[in-house]
Chain A
Amino acid sequence: MLKLIGGCIVMAGALGTGVCICVDRKRRIEMLSILQRAFFWMAGEIAYSRISLPEVFTETGRRLQGGFGTGERKTLWAEECRKDFGLGEILLRTGQRLQDGSGQDMQRVWQEEMSRFLPHTGLLEQEKAFVLSFAEAVGFQDGARQQEAVAEFSYRMQERALAAQKQRKEADKITMTFCMACGLMAVILLL
């Protein structure tokens, strides 16, 4: 009886591990989509309203949090954006730090805020490095070029998200099969 219970626990552990890996993968895809949307909105703000980057961050942060204008009112849009994983707050804080008169350098502020945020996103290291490099992509005097530079981040995130989405079903299947097989092997060995 005890052996049976032990075997079940090992199998449950293997299943849990597989599920966790799949959830992380899903989370990464969602995160990439949110970043894609955020950069897309930023590029839009630059193209349309020509506001400065600190204001762009603030506006985008508000939108990600589902607020239109005030950042307080929750809208239907909020439902769709409810999984912003805190990116809205991070962008709001970045905008605030750049506008509070303390004179902090944008590159430093972006690095600090994103370094706080990225570890919990499930993104791959090269994706994190790419997001961190955003502050180096600013400084264009021409509005159209600046918009393109920011939109590039959006396209790259989209590309990554689509590729990950394509592979996800297959990868999830392999992960679950592998985890279950490992669990089964452990049960056989232990018995």
Chain B
Amino acid sequence: MEAGENVLRLFPEQLRFRWRQVAREEARLQEIRLRAQRPVLIYAGNSEWYLEETGALTKDAARAYVLEKEELGQIVRHICRYSLYAYEEELRKGYVSADGGFRVGVAGEVILHPDQTVKNIRCISSINIRIAHERKGAAQKLIPFLYEKERLQSCLIISPPGCGKTTLLRDIVRQVSDGNACAPGKTVGLVDERCEIAGCFQGIPGKDVGMRTDVLDGCPKAEGMMMLVRSMSPALVAADELGSAADVEALLQAVKCGCSVAATVHGTSLEEVGGKPLFAPLFQNRIFGRFFVLGKRGREFMVEAVQDGDGRVLREAFLC
């Protein structure tokens, strides 16, 4: 596959001429932000760029290409494969999982249920295409910390948005599944609720998540973790972005069943996450043996700290 092909596939054929150059930047591309009647913004290499009408990237706002509403509609329909109904549940949560493992955040006019809960989003006016990066070896330096006398430790990746927690989790899953210098391969159960980690297409992972990994694609985390524990006997259960009491409860159940867990959560430090009431049961039960705290210094993404289950720092600030 040609470089950038995955990104180009996000756009309908008739608009691709404008996106070829952007797609070629896939390796350093982070986000593509499209808003109706507003300039197209591209985030690449930790910088913000405007898209010109010709498809070139510029820093000059005057030359920025302003996206028409109809064009945004075409892109949304294409990403949803002309089947908005199939994405009803995801749209309700504010995103769409696109082919290639990209997550597309959406905003627009919200339709509410009588009880004021969100029913759907119509008249989509902004989308944020987050470019998923597969970086094999991203977790290489963390793998030795994952094991204690060959025993796999449960781990929690703590990171602000956009610092690579999903990339890191994917590589941890791959290395545990395939085996690594510290231990032989183990069965991994991956709950990929937002289809970002494995990038499945019709159930087949598009990204390398290891040969012993079973993926539940598009499944709610809490339900998925229990399904995997009951039926697939995983040594490690992995899930991205814990965010509800049900997720926490399912994680506790998985550990009670003898599985190790690997999960990610939004945050900037162990203290901050540990202080949230939602996650209190995880800390009270000492579920995690390792915490990987990610961050950003200048333009570099770093592992700020590796901490053990008691919060002791095992290693500080290093590049992955």
Contacts and interface: CB of A to CB of B under 8 A. Distances in A.
B241 interface: no
Contacts of B64: none
Given A103-B9, A141-B120, A50 B77 contact: no
A167 interface: no
A105 B12 contact: yes
Interface stretch (B84-92, B173-181, B249-257, B272-280): B84-92
B9 A139 contact: no
B81 A98 contact: yes
Interface string A159-175: 00000000000000000
B63 interface: no
B13 A54 contact: no
A51 B82 CA distance: 11
Interface size for chain B: under 10, 10 to 19, 20 to 34, or 35 or more residues?
A: 20 to 34
B292 interface: no
A132 to B, nearest CB: 16
A135 to B, nearest CB: 8
B81 A54 contact: yes
A103 B120 contact: no
B11 A138 contact: no
Contacts of A56: 83
Contact of B88 (A99, A101, A106, A141): A141
Contact of A105 (B5, B9, B14, B122): B14
A102 interface: yes
Nearest to B8: A103
A142 B85 contact: yes
A138 B16 contact: no
Contacts of A111: none
Contact of A139 (B5, B77, B91): B77
Given A105-B13, A141-B122, A52 B83 contact: yes
B81 A103 contact: no
Contacts of B85: 46, 50, 140-143, 145-147
A145 B78 CA distance: 20
Contacts of B77: 139
Contacts of A106: 82
B88 A98 contact: no
Interface in A93-145: 98-99, 101-106, 138-143, 145
Max chain B Cβ within 10 angstroms of own Cβ: one of A54, A99, A139, A141 = A141
A55 interface: yes
Q: Which 10 A-B pairs have the closest CB atoms?
A: A52-B83, A103-B13, A146-B85, A143-B85, A52-B81, A106-B82, A141-B84, A52-B86, A53-B83, A103-B12
Interface of A: 46, 50-56, 98-99, 101-106, 138-143, 145-147
27 contacts: A46-B85, A51-B83, A52-B80, A52-B81, A52-B82, A53-B81, A53-B86, A54-B82, A54-B83, A55-B202, A56-B83, A101-B9, A101-B99, A102-B13, A103-B9, A103-B11, A103-B13, A103-B16, A104-B12, A105-B12, A105-B13, A138-B83, A140-B84, A140-B85, A141-B120, A146-B84, A147-B85
